[in-house]
Amino acid sequence: MGDTSGITDLKWTVTGSGTNPANAADFDAGIMPVGKVRFLAGETSKQISVNVRGDITQELDETFSVAITAVTGVTPINIGTGTILNDDGVSGRAATISNNMILGTAGNDTLLGTTGNDTLLGVDPLNGAGTREIDRLTGGAGSDRFILGDTSSTYYLGGGISDYAIITDFGVGDAIQTRIGSTLSIGGALPTGIIGTALYLNNDLVAVVQGTIPTAISFVSV
Protein backbone atom coordinates (compact mmCIF):
# COMPACT_ATOMS: atom_id res chain seq x y z
CA MET A 1 0.00 0.00 0.00
CA GLY A 2 2.92 2.34 0.63
CA ASP A 3 2.61 5.61 2.57
CA THR A 4 -0.71 5.76 4.47
CA SER A 5 -0.17 9.10 6.17
CA GLY A 6 -2.32 11.08 3.73
CA ILE A 7 -5.52 10.85 1.72
CA THR A 8 -5.53 8.54 -1.31
CA ASP A 9 -8.15 8.53 -4.08
CA LEU A 10 -8.56 5.81 -6.66
CA LYS A 11 -10.98 5.08 -9.48
CA TRP A 12 -11.89 1.56 -10.56
CA THR A 13 -13.51 -0.04 -13.60
CA VAL A 14 -14.94 -3.48 -14.32
CA THR A 15 -14.15 -5.34 -17.55
CA GLY A 16 -14.99 -8.83 -18.77
CA SER A 17 -12.19 -11.39 -18.59
CA GLY A 18 -11.42 -15.07 -19.04
CA THR A 19 -12.96 -17.64 -21.36
CA ASN A 20 -16.54 -16.50 -20.68
CA PRO A 21 -16.24 -12.76 -19.98
CA ALA A 22 -19.07 -10.84 -18.33
CA ASN A 23 -20.53 -7.94 -20.29
CA ALA A 24 -22.66 -4.87 -19.57
CA ALA A 25 -25.90 -6.89 -19.69
CA ASP A 26 -24.74 -8.85 -16.63
CA PHE A 27 -24.71 -5.79 -14.37
CA ASP A 28 -27.32 -3.40 -13.01
CA ALA A 29 -28.37 -0.57 -15.33
CA GLY A 30 -26.88 -2.47 -18.29
CA ILE A 31 -23.48 -0.78 -17.99
CA MET A 32 -20.06 -1.94 -16.88
CA PRO A 33 -19.61 -0.69 -13.30
CA VAL A 34 -17.21 2.13 -12.46
CA GLY A 35 -16.61 3.97 -9.23
CA LYS A 36 -14.18 5.59 -6.86
CA VAL A 37 -13.08 5.13 -3.26
CA ARG A 38 -11.13 7.32 -0.86
CA PHE A 39 -8.61 6.08 1.70
CA LEU A 40 -8.27 8.37 4.69
CA ALA A 41 -4.99 8.62 6.58
CA GLY A 42 -4.16 5.27 8.18
CA GLU A 43 -6.66 3.24 6.16
CA THR A 44 -5.26 0.29 4.23
CA SER A 45 -8.32 -1.50 2.84
CA LYS A 46 -11.67 -0.73 1.21
CA GLN A 47 -14.48 -2.90 -0.11
CA ILE A 48 -15.63 -2.49 -3.71
CA SER A 49 -19.08 -3.93 -4.47
CA VAL A 50 -20.65 -4.47 -7.89
CA ASN A 51 -24.30 -5.37 -8.43
CA VAL A 52 -25.05 -8.29 -10.74
CA ARG A 53 -28.30 -8.48 -12.69
CA GLY A 54 -30.21 -11.76 -12.32
CA ASP A 55 -31.71 -13.23 -15.48
CA ILE A 56 -33.36 -16.35 -16.92
CA THR A 57 -30.81 -16.86 -19.71
CA GLN A 58 -29.10 -20.26 -19.68
CA GLU A 59 -25.38 -19.49 -19.64
CA LEU A 60 -22.04 -20.51 -18.18
CA ASP A 61 -20.35 -18.89 -15.21
CA GLU A 62 -18.79 -15.58 -16.29
CA THR A 63 -15.74 -13.74 -15.02
CA PHE A 64 -14.78 -10.11 -14.70
CA SER A 65 -11.83 -8.03 -13.52
CA VAL A 66 -11.74 -4.93 -11.35
CA ALA A 67 -8.87 -2.66 -12.37
CA ILE A 68 -7.54 0.53 -10.82
CA THR A 69 -7.62 3.21 -13.53
CA ALA A 70 -6.46 6.29 -11.63
CA VAL A 71 -4.72 6.56 -8.30
CA THR A 72 -3.05 9.31 -6.29
CA GLY A 73 -0.64 8.92 -3.44
CA VAL A 74 0.30 5.23 -3.75
CA THR A 75 1.65 2.64 -6.14
CA PRO A 76 -1.23 0.96 -8.09
CA ILE A 77 -2.28 -2.46 -6.81
CA ASN A 78 -2.95 -5.65 -8.74
CA ILE A 79 -6.16 -6.32 -10.67
CA GLY A 80 -8.87 -8.21 -8.79
CA THR A 81 -11.14 -10.80 -10.38
CA GLY A 82 -14.64 -12.11 -9.72
CA THR A 83 -16.98 -14.79 -11.04
CA ILE A 84 -20.72 -14.52 -11.71
CA LEU A 85 -21.98 -17.97 -10.81
CA ASN A 86 -24.93 -19.53 -12.61
CA ASP A 87 -27.64 -16.90 -11.94
CA ASP A 88 -30.24 -18.37 -14.30
CA GLY A 89 -33.86 -18.83 -13.36
CA VAL A 90 -35.56 -22.20 -13.70
CA SER A 91 -36.22 -22.93 -17.37
CA GLY A 92 -39.81 -22.06 -18.27
CA ARG A 93 -40.33 -19.81 -15.23
CA ALA A 94 -39.56 -16.15 -14.77
CA ALA A 95 -36.86 -15.37 -12.24
CA THR A 96 -37.91 -13.01 -9.45
CA ILE A 97 -35.69 -9.94 -9.55
CA SER A 98 -36.69 -7.58 -6.77
CA ASN A 99 -33.68 -5.94 -5.10
CA ASN A 100 -32.23 -3.48 -7.60
CA MET A 101 -29.51 -0.85 -7.79
CA ILE A 102 -31.06 1.93 -9.87
CA LEU A 103 -28.65 4.52 -11.25
CA GLY A 104 -29.14 7.97 -12.72
CA THR A 105 -26.88 10.06 -14.94
CA ALA A 106 -25.38 13.54 -14.94
CA GLY A 107 -28.75 15.01 -16.01
CA ASN A 108 -32.20 15.33 -14.44
CA ASP A 109 -33.44 11.78 -13.82
CA THR A 110 -36.61 10.02 -12.68
CA LEU A 111 -35.79 6.73 -10.96
CA LEU A 112 -38.48 4.17 -10.13
CA GLY A 113 -37.93 1.26 -7.76
CA THR A 114 -39.76 -2.06 -7.68
CA THR A 115 -41.39 -4.17 -5.00
CA GLY A 116 -38.08 -5.15 -3.43
CA ASN A 117 -35.45 -3.46 -1.31
CA ASP A 118 -33.96 -1.08 -3.86
CA THR A 119 -31.02 1.32 -3.79
CA LEU A 120 -31.48 4.54 -5.76
CA LEU A 121 -28.61 6.80 -6.84
CA GLY A 122 -29.68 9.73 -9.00
CA VAL A 123 -26.25 11.19 -9.77
CA ASP A 124 -23.09 10.17 -11.57
CA PRO A 125 -20.46 10.44 -8.78
CA LEU A 126 -17.70 10.83 -11.38
CA ASN A 127 -19.48 13.54 -13.38
CA GLY A 128 -20.80 16.46 -11.37
CA ALA A 129 -22.16 14.48 -8.41
CA GLY A 130 -25.55 16.15 -8.67
CA THR A 131 -24.52 19.75 -9.27
CA ARG A 132 -27.23 21.54 -11.30
CA GLU A 133 -29.45 18.42 -11.19
CA ILE A 134 -32.97 17.79 -9.93
CA ASP A 135 -33.66 14.06 -9.65
CA ARG A 136 -36.89 12.31 -8.63
CA LEU A 137 -36.36 9.10 -6.65
CA THR A 138 -39.28 6.74 -6.01
CA GLY A 139 -38.43 3.56 -4.15
CA GLY A 140 -41.75 1.75 -4.32
CA ALA A 141 -42.56 -1.03 -1.86
CA GLY A 142 -39.86 -2.55 0.33
CA SER A 143 -37.10 -1.09 2.46
CA ASP A 144 -35.27 1.22 0.08
CA ARG A 145 -32.04 3.21 0.37
CA PHE A 146 -31.74 6.68 -1.16
CA ILE A 147 -28.12 7.71 -1.69
CA LEU A 148 -27.28 11.37 -1.05
CA GLY A 149 -23.56 10.88 -0.43
CA ASP A 150 -20.66 8.45 -0.34
CA THR A 151 -17.31 8.17 1.42
CA SER A 152 -15.89 10.98 -0.71
CA SER A 153 -18.62 13.61 -0.96
CA THR A 154 -22.16 14.79 -0.36
CA TYR A 155 -24.18 15.08 -3.57
CA TYR A 156 -26.26 17.99 -4.92
CA LEU A 157 -23.97 20.72 -3.57
CA GLY A 158 -23.03 24.03 -5.13
CA GLY A 159 -26.37 25.28 -6.42
CA GLY A 160 -28.08 26.44 -3.24
CA ILE A 161 -31.75 25.50 -3.67
CA SER A 162 -31.49 24.87 -7.42
CA ASP A 163 -30.11 21.31 -7.32
CA TYR A 164 -31.48 18.51 -5.16
CA ALA A 165 -33.10 15.09 -5.05
CA ILE A 166 -36.83 14.66 -4.48
CA ILE A 167 -37.53 11.48 -2.53
CA THR A 168 -41.19 10.99 -3.36
CA ASP A 169 -42.25 8.12 -1.09
CA PHE A 170 -40.05 7.92 2.00
CA GLY A 171 -41.52 5.49 4.52
CA VAL A 172 -40.88 3.34 7.56
CA GLY A 173 -37.98 0.98 6.85
CA ASP A 174 -36.40 3.22 4.23
CA ALA A 175 -32.97 4.82 4.75
CA ILE A 176 -31.09 7.86 3.50
CA GLN A 177 -27.37 7.37 2.90
CA THR A 178 -25.06 10.31 3.65
CA ARG A 179 -21.35 10.93 3.90
CA ILE A 180 -20.00 10.30 7.38
CA GLY A 181 -19.29 13.56 9.18
CA SER A 182 -21.66 15.54 6.95
CA THR A 183 -24.84 15.65 9.00
CA LEU A 184 -27.86 16.94 7.11
CA SER A 185 -30.22 19.28 8.93
CA ILE A 186 -33.93 18.48 8.73
CA GLY A 187 -36.22 21.33 7.69
CA GLY A 188 -35.72 24.65 5.94
CA ALA A 189 -36.77 26.66 2.92
CA LEU A 190 -38.15 24.85 -0.12
CA PRO A 191 -38.09 25.85 -3.79
CA THR A 192 -41.27 27.48 -5.06
CA GLY A 193 -44.01 24.93 -5.74
CA ILE A 194 -42.21 22.04 -4.03
CA ILE A 195 -43.69 20.34 -0.95
CA GLY A 196 -42.00 18.09 1.57
CA THR A 197 -39.26 18.24 4.19
CA ALA A 198 -35.98 19.86 3.21
CA LEU A 199 -32.57 18.35 3.99
CA TYR A 200 -29.71 20.85 4.07
CA LEU A 201 -25.94 20.76 4.39
CA ASN A 202 -25.06 24.26 5.54
CA ASN A 203 -26.72 26.55 2.95
CA ASP A 204 -27.11 23.89 0.26
CA LEU A 205 -30.39 22.08 -0.27
CA VAL A 206 -29.54 18.40 -0.76
CA ALA A 207 -32.96 16.76 -0.88
CA VAL A 208 -36.68 17.18 -0.40
CA VAL A 209 -38.35 14.25 1.34
CA GLN A 210 -42.02 13.53 0.70
CA GLY A 211 -43.97 10.97 2.69
CA THR A 212 -42.79 10.18 6.21
CA ILE A 213 -40.72 12.95 7.78
CA PRO A 214 -37.20 11.61 8.38
CA THR A 215 -35.63 11.55 11.84
CA ALA A 216 -32.06 10.99 13.02
CA ILE A 217 -32.48 7.21 12.77
CA SER A 218 -33.46 7.51 9.10
CA PHE A 219 -29.84 8.24 8.11
CA VAL A 220 -27.02 5.81 7.37
CA SER A 221 -23.51 7.30 7.12
CA VAL A 222 -20.69 5.76 5.08
Q: Give tens-digit pLDDT for 31-53.
A: 888 887 777 777 766 667 777 76
Among 66-70, 88-92, 122-126, 215-219, which range has the highest average pLDDT?
215-219
> Is residue 35 a contact partner of residue 14, using CB atoms and an 8 Å limit?
no
Confidence of residue 7 (pLDDT cuts 50, 70, 90): confident
Residues 184-194, mean pLDDT to the nearest whole number: 96
- pTM above threshold 0.75: no
8-84 topology per CATH: Immunoglobulin-like (2.60.40)
Residues 74-80, mean pLDDT to the nearest whole number: 55
Confidence of residue 55 (pLDDT cuts 50, 70, 90): low
The long-range contacts involving 42-51, CB below 8 angstroms and separated by at least 24 positions, are: 42/4, 42/5, 43/4, 44/1, 44/4, 48/12, 48/80, 50/14, 50/82, 51/27, 51/100, 51/101
Q: How is the chain split into domains, by residue range?
A: 8-84, 101-221
Q: Residue 90's pLDDT is what? A: 36
Closest alpha carbon to 65 in 39, 83, 43, 91: 83
Residues 86-97, mean pLDDT to the nearest whole number: 40
Residues 160-189, mean pLDDT to the nearest whole number: 96
Q: Average pLDDT of the chain?
A: 81
Q: Residue 92's pLDDT is what? A: 34
Q: Residue 69's pLDDT is what? A: 66
Q: Residue 70's pLDDT is what? A: 62
Q: Give tens-digit pLDDT for 95-111.
A: 344 578 888 888 888 99
The amino acid sitting at 103 is: L
Q: Residue 89's pLDDT is what? A: 40
Q: Residue 91's pLDDT is what? A: 36
